[in-house]
Amino acid sequence: MGWHQFTAWLKLTLPALGGFGLLFSAFVDSSFVPLPLVTDVMLIELSSRHPMRMPYYAAMAALGSLAGCIWIYWLARWGGQAYYRRTQTHAPGRIRRFIQEYPMASVFFPAVAPFPVPFKPFVIAQGVFQVPFVTFVIGTLVGRGRCSSLKVFLGRVTELPRNNSS
């Protein structure tokens, strides 16, 4: 099975798993395999079809995203500083200063940014520049939770047609 076949399989299989599919999709998308809009569309569709489960779906998407971000954060924290020093020709003074002065803002605002703003570079920078772990977890969870809540609300107001055939 090739890479494109694997991602196509994920896109078809994960929605059938409901909340656990959302959790896994958000984890994969936030960590190592970009799945553009897959989690978002799943979240909207599942919320439209099962409005009573909206908080559950929002929580699963936010927790999956947080878990994937933690994975990237720790990789960047452990090896990112050395890699950054080897590959960058200029000092990271302004970025580092901003992250040190406003750690919660440097985590929260990228976490609430909508697609197509790439989130992973911010997570990597937060790891490389040593944002405190608790600040990272709280900011990411609140930010991604806010995004997920907005998407389940969109799913509720769009109300996709239901399959009435029995």
- Each residue's pLDDT tens digit, 18-75: 889 999 999 988 887 777 788 888 888 888 888 899 999 999 999 999 999 999 999 9
Note whether residue 145 is domain-resident: yes
In a domain, 44, yes or no: yes
Say if 163 falls within a structural domain: no
Residue 73 lies in a domain: yes
Domain count, the chain: 1
Report whether pLDDT(141) > 90. yes
Check if the beta carbon of residue 48 is closer than 8 Å to that of residue 90.
no
pLDDT, position 159? 62
* Mean pLDDT across the chain: 84
Give the whole-angstrom CA distance, residue 91 versus residue 26: 33
- What is the spatial distance between Cα 127 and Cα 81, in angstroms, rounded to a whole number? 9
Give the structural domain span for 132: 7-158
For residues 131 and 103, the answer to whether their CB atoms sit within 8 Å is yes
Residue 2 lies in a domain: no
Token pair 């890699």 is at which residue?
A: 83
C-alpha separations of 154 from 20, 24, 44, 148 in Å = 20, 21, 6, 10
pLDDT score, position 8: 78
